[in-house]
Amino acid sequence: MALFTRDPRTLEARDDGRPRLPPGQRLTDGWPVLHYGSIPKVDRATWTFHIFGLVEQEITLTWDEFMALPQSNSRSDIHCVTTWSKFDNDWEGVVIDDLLALARPKPEAAHAIFHSYGGYTTNVPLAEMHGPENMLVHSHDGAPLTPEHGGPLRGLVPSLYFWKSAKWVRGIELVAEDRAGFWEMYGYHMHGDPWTEERYG
């Protein structure tokens, strides 16, 4: 893959003054494929998505029901803990806040666990899933997500390292106490902020 360490984009700053390229990262224009194990077979005809745990209303959606929800677009950067970053990704899908509005988290809900087909899990503080950039996405740069990149649907939490963006997502569980997901159990950080290099716990 092509690495452009002197690309002028790497010198840009964000609105909050932090550098656009987090410390220890290098910019790539490719899109590496990274996951543990094999790509699960996910059939849209039998696909379901669940929101469960500490919610007033458990939600189960079929693929058609999910696609009938209001769709949104966002643009954000990817930062992988293995040090590659990819800028300006255009995503389409459903904003997580819009789904949470249907499920209505209970007051004691503080963390989300993303569950994927194939068994992968990852944990994200509920407070950091608010905002229109946090989504469940089915398209990238105008094309449906390929299976290798998490199609038909993946999570997207761009303020955290990319392992927090679960591929082949099948549900979100809301819990009161933080619980390690797959990589977190193997020593990755429970939080995963790229700007403070929360790589390993």
Ligand X SMILES: Nc1nc2c(c(=O)[nH]1)N[C@H]1C(S)=C(S)[C@@H](COP(=O)(O)O)O[C@H]1N2
Closest approach of Mo ion to the CB of residue 78, in Å: 10
Q: How far is CA 45 from CA 35, 49, 62, 117, 198, in A?
A: 24, 12, 8, 14, 39
Candidates 7-15, 18-26, 33-41, 100-108: pick the segment binding ligand X (CB under 6 A): 33-41
Distance of alpha carbon 162 from alpha carbon 194, whole angstroms: 9
Candidates 26-34, 50-58, 125-133, 170-178: pick the segment binding ligand X (CB under 6 A): 26-34
Distance of alpha carbon 12 from alpha carbon 17, whole angstroms: 9
Closest approach of Mo ion to the CB of residue 52, in Å: 26
Our measurement of the distance from residue 190's CA atom to the centroid of its chain's CA atoms, rounded to an integer in Å, reads: 15
Q: Which is nearer to ligand X, 112 or 166 (CB)?
A: 166
Where are the strands (E) in the chain, listed by range?
26-27, 48-53, 59-62, 72-79, 84-95, 111-116, 121-125, 135-140, 143-144, 154-156, 169-175
Residue 116 binds which entry of Mo ion, ligand X, none, with Cβ cut-offs from 5 to 8 Å by kind? ligand X
Using alpha carbons only, give the angle 95, 134, 175 rounded to the nearest 5 degrees.
Answer: 95
Handedness of CA 37, 90, 64, 134 (dihedral sign): positive
Which residue's Cβ has the minimum distance to Mo ion? 163
User: Using CB under 6 A, which of 85, 116, 134, 159 touches ligand X?
Assistant: 116
Question: Is residue 69 near Mo ion by the rule CB under 5 A?
Answer: no
User: Using CB under 5 A, which of 39, 59, 69, 80 touches Mo ion?
Assistant: 80
Question: Residues for the chain: how many in total?
Answer: 201
Q: What x-and-dash track marks residues 157-196 binding ligand X by CB under 6 A?
A: -----xx-xxxx----------------------------
Radius of gyration in angstroms for the set of CA atoms belonging to the chain, rounded to a whole number: 16
Closest approach of ligand X to the CB of residue 107, in Å: 30
Q: What x-and-dash track marks residues 11-50 binding Mo ion by CB under 5 A?
A: -----------------------x----------------
Residue 150 binds which entry of ligand X, Mo ion, none, with Cβ cut-offs from 5 to 8 Å by kind? ligand X
Q: Which is nearer to ligand X, 91 or 162 (CB)?
A: 162
